[in-house]
Structure 1
Amino acid sequence: MAVSGIKPGVPVILRELEPSSPFFKHGQSLRVIGRLEAYQAETGIAEISDGNVSLKIGTQHLINLIFCAGSLYQFIGELVIDFDTQDVLLQARVGRMVDGLDLNLYQQSLHLSRKLESYISSTSRSKRNLG
């Protein structure tokens, strides 16, 4: 069985994508959600936002996805950072419209999920140290 080099997209909130963030790494596989602000069919570049934070999305590899300004979209792909120009883009390999998703509830569940993962991780480390 062949092993794929594609990593799962780590769910992040757009405001977490800042240079000091552990998610802000060239090639990092991410899952993001935001409202479509603009789409340029000629370049295949979309721009999504969440509040006052925005991110460019490379959509060249997506087929059969209809872009509708103002709709909510989820993208999974790899972060591309041009350190010379400071341009940041998520090169999407998966995209879908997620209108109807409660973004606040999604962000709360992501926060709780991370808290639980952290607790489980620290608990298993403690058991290993005791054993």
Structure 2
Amino acid sequence: MVTGSLPFLDTKAMSLWSERVLVALPHDHPLSSRETVCWTDLRGETVLLSHYDPGRELEYLLVSKLVSPEVRPKIERHDVSRGIIKSLISMNTGISLVLESDIGANLADLVYQELRDGAGASRYSSPSIGR
């Protein structure tokens, strides 16, 4: 099982699942009341990510959506759990990227908005199994 793409071209693979990518925001953040949030709306923001899964994969996705360094938000990596990242967001220290399955453990003062691009909702594909 691997995350992302398989390193060998002749390998057959099957994705195990796919989830929507959301942005977690403080309830009073300007983007929290928007009907649609696009990747480009993250410009000028501070994105807090955990060193633990899926932090690195979400960072790769962010970089792939906003290729030019000038339009990317500032990324801060922290050696803490995703729960602590949510606490930092609630203290207005930044925003974060989360997967749809991560919103079950919600803090009352956070808002989750779906991230979209030109093709619609952004999705994170699971690890793949291959042979």
- Shorter chain as denominator, the TM-score bin is under 0.3
Question: TM-score when scaled to structure 2?
Answer: 0.26
TM-score relative to the length of structure 1:
0.26
Greater relative contact order (Cα < 8 A, sep 6+): 2
